[in-house]
Structure 1
Amino acid sequence: MKGSTAKHGISLRTLIRKSSELSGPCLLIAGDMQGAVFGGLLDCPLKPTPKRKYQGTNQTFVFTTLYGQPRLFRATGANRYYYICMNDLLALGGGGNFALCLDADLLSATSGPCETFGSLCLAHNPEFELKHVELWGFAHVRTTNH
């Protein structure tokens, strides 16, 4: 794990800065106050853009634990609105609603039905307070055969 609101304070800029230590895919994990856990797969390091410009590939997905078992929502091909990263906004998906949109202080967020991933609301409510936000990176471990 590279970034966590519990460890590093509450700021999207801090999360973006910590993502520079990661390369390749990273998993954004967040939760609401009612116990749902959700997030999505992004490319790291996160690269903020000055304007709302979508990034990512069709490997991007979102997930939630809200509906009992964890549910994964992959890109539907409806559009290429994978995610937006700005210094004051991190949003996944598009077409109607963002699947998940985090604000600059990582205190509140929104989620709604999203065409990009064919997802429903990922949290208990469309507007909610965040309980936690974490960013996990994946390292490739090389093994040698003796």
Structure 2
Amino acid sequence: MGVAYSVGEVNHLYVFFVEWSPDIYTKGKKQRCKSCYFNREKDPSSCLVADRVMTAINKVFSKSVGIIKALKTWKIITVQDSGRRSSLCSSVESEAEVHEHQEVEDALPVLSDQSQLMHDHHLQKLAAHMPARTQGYPWNLVYSTSIHGSSLKTLYRNMAGLDSPVLLVIKDMHKQVFGAFSSDPFRVSKYCYGTGETFLFSFNPDFQSYTWSGENSYFMSGNWESLHIGGGGGGFALWLDADLYHGASFSCPTFHNAPLSTHEDFIVQDVEVWTVQN
């Protein structure tokens, strides 16, 4: 609510400020004589008005002394500054969340088809353990039991002519997900093939990988009746039959692995094979 003053009252108010802080209001100006401030003889009423103005202002200033002293030790933050600080904090947190989310997305490979066996946490773990030469390339679905049926022959046939590494993913009837990354596509071969890039993995329930031990080079072998990965100790690290229905997993010297499934002999629910190529 505003306060209205007459011209005379404004003059008296100005006089008060001059007397209160002459170093501020008379800086750069000539000092006026006292008769210019109040002409008590010619206009006695001006004294009464001035006294009233002075009394009111003194009351205001007397109440403000404590506040002024307190303000000297306080840090004044405007609404604009407060909003800016709040906005800055929220923007920093938002940027961190976006950055973290972006890193997760960047770590995930691009799949040509939707996987029925792998979710984002599977993809993220597997992509981080695959060789550098596969990083940044899309994953193409070569074989899936849900699409192509359960047949080892079909699996071999779909990979004929490929010259790129492949990822074998198995889900058994106990809902366990595991498999192997092979440096070479699966094929029928009289002898073992593959390189030390080959590794085994399991999510039972946490991710675990088993890389080449260097003890032997029995990476992979296969015939029309079965597919074998790892060996040398009387059992295969991973074995699948011709119908991709029965499987087995044992510890072996090639990878020094634990059985990939919770059961050494298991029943296959689904199989997917992905190739990573330019």
Structure-2 residue corresponding to 1:77 = 214
User: Which structure has the larger Rg?
Assistant: 2
- Is residue 60 from structure 1 mapped to residue 215 from structure 2 by the alignment? no
2:263 is aligned to 125
Residue-by-residue CA offset, 1:60-108 (whole Å, 9 max, x unaligned): 1111111x32111000001111011211111110022211000000001
Which residue matches 2:238? 100
Measure how far apart 1:55 and its partner are: 1.0
- Aligned partner of 1:20 among 160, 163, 170: 160
Question: Percent identity at matched positions?
Answer: 36
TM-score, normalised with respect to structure 1? 0.88
Structure 2 residue corresponding to 1:32, chosen from 172, 178, 194: 172
Task: Identify which of 144, 148, 151 aligns with 1:11.
Answer: 151
Q: Which has the higher helix share?
A: 2
Deviation at 1:44, TM superposition (A): 4.2
8 Å CA contact 1:23, 1:137 repeated in 2: no
Deviations 1:101-120 (A, max 9, x none): 00000001000111101100
- The answer as to 2:185 corresponding to 1:48 is no
Gap runs ≥5 in structure 1: 141-146
8 A contact 2:159–2:187 mirrored in 1: no
Q: In structure 1, what is the Cα distance between the partners aligned to 2:177 and 2:252? A: 17
- 1:2–1:21: 8 Å Cα contact kept in structure 2? no
Amino acid of the residue matched to residue 186 of structure 2?
L
RMSD: 1.3
What SS does the aligned partner of 1:58 have? Answer: coil
- Structure 2 unaligned blocks of 5 or more: 1-140
1:143 is aligned to: none
Are 1:48 and 1:85, in contact at CA under 8 Å, matched by a contact in 2? Answer: yes
Distance 1:131 1:30 in 2: 8
Aligned equivalents of 2:274, 2:217: Cα separation in 1: 23
Distance (whole Å) between structure 1 residues aligned to residue 268 and residue 149 of structure 2: 13
Q: Residue 21 of structure 1: CA displacement?
A: 5.6
Which fold has the larger relative contact order, with Cα–Cα distance below 8 Å and residues 6 or more apart in sequence? Answer: 1
